[in-house]
Structure 1
Amino acid sequence: MTEEKDQLLTSYNSMTEERDQLQTRVRLSEEPCLAEWWKFGTSCYYVSSKMNTPGAGQKECRTMEGELVVINSREEQIFINGLKKNVWIGTFLKDGIWQWVDNTPFTTAYWMEGEPNNLNDKVACVEISQTATDPLKSWKDGPCVEQHWVCEKPITP
């Protein structure tokens, strides 16, 4: 009888431990982003509270295992615009060519009317401007001065 009781107790403890591990996995899949990060789609986004140049922002993003945000869709553009801050995104002008920080092809843009207008500069950066009335026309280029920025990192299972 004692042996049966010990086996049942061992089995119970094992199942309790397995249940706790499964609950942790479920919780992590429901809350995949750290505090102060926002989930959208398959990525987490961090909006800086301090201002910095895009280059310094990119370095800080990398310390958090991310990159300055690369806008891949209309929905992502609307989401980032909805953060309600003027923020640097991960595109820049280098030698007259617009590039993303992750080297993906620059095929989509959401420029404000009259933008970009710094094409003669050797280097220019892009911000999402809250002065825009249309979230799909809110990019503005300019000198790479201090500004808030957004990091993006993919959600990993």
Structure 2
Amino acid sequence: PKSSSGSVSMFFIGTLAGCEAASEGRQVRSGNAAAVGLGLLCFILLAVIVGLSIKHNAEIQQIQNSYTNITLERDQLQTSYTNITLERDQLQTNIFCPPGWKKFMSSCYYISINMQTWDQSRMDCRGKENFWIGLTDQYHQGQWKWVDGSSLTSQYWMKGEPNDFKYWKTGYTYIYEDCAQITFSYDPLSNWKDVRCDTQLTWICEMRTQCREHHL
């Protein structure tokens, strides 16, 4: 009995020792698998970070290039604007009107101090090789036209004008008010009236501005 009892005891001890060894082996294998999995995860995370960093740097470089191009274009536009301004100022300096003429925009105007009839003043302007500002309906009654043949668009007649008042003339004929006059008025948009063309008034001539010649 003792020998059999001792055999049983040794069997159980041996069995328990084998179970403990197997358990330690499984723990070692599980730890290695976890380490490998963690290392693989770190590698994937690192690859993602590197990829995002490369993409971010590329976007920053693209934005920097765009900013540089915009800056260059702005500088070129500024240079062009400066050159155009200088050319404009130079042209303004070179453009002039003859003595006694008044410059307004791209034209010169001569305002007479003498008084002449409609036809006489027109001849005077033609003699100066420029245009005469005249408005008449003597060729077609009621159809007011400028002397260059263009139709009247903007009108600044005084109230009641043009009235085409007629004057008695010998031989059963009349003289009509077929020429336009600018007269004094508190309203600058209502200062025209029609008068007889043989009325002596001051007049206005118009011509293009002149340009000084530069000799090299």
User: Fold-level match, TM-score > 0.5?
Assistant: yes
SS in 2 for 1:148: coil
Indicate the structure (1 or 2) with the bigger Cα radius of gyration. 2
- The answer for the alignment partner of 1:139 in structure 2 is 192
Distance between the aligned counterparts of 1:58 and 1:102, measured in 2? 12
Greater relative contact order structure (CA < 8 Å, 6+ sep)? 1
Give RMSD over aligned pairs.
Answer: 2.1
2:178–2:196 contact (8 Å) kept in structure 1: yes
Instruction: Report percent identity of matched pairs.
Output: 35
SS in 2 for 1:127: strand
**Structure with the higher fraction of residues in helix conformation:** 2
Q: 1:105 to 1:26 in 2, by over 3 A?
A: closer
Give 1:1-157 correspondences, 5 Å limit. 27-29=93-95, 32-69=96-133, 90-94=134-138, 95-96=140-141, 97-118=143-164, 124-130=178-184, 132-144=185-197, 145-157=199-211
TM-score, normalization by structure 2: 0.47
Report deviation, 1:136.
0.9
Q: 1:122 to 1:43 in 2, by over 3 A?
A: same
Q: Which runs of 5+ in 2 are unaligned?
A: 1-89, 167-174, 212-216
What's the CA shift string for 1:70-119, capped at 9, x where partnerless?
Answer: xxxxxxxxxxxxxxxxxxxx101123121101111221211011111117
**Structure with the higher fraction of residues in strand conformation:** 1
Q: 1:25 to 1:112 in 2, by over 3 A?
A: closer
Report deviation, 1:28.
3.3
TM-score, normalization by structure 1: 0.63
1:93–1:122 contact (8 Å) kept in structure 2: no
1:92–1:123 contact (8 Å) kept in structure 2: no
Size of the alignment, in residue pairs? 111
Q: 1:26 to 1:54 in 2, by over 3 A?
A: same
What's the CA shift string for 1:124-157, capped at 9, x where partnerless?
Answer: 1111101x11111100111011110011112244
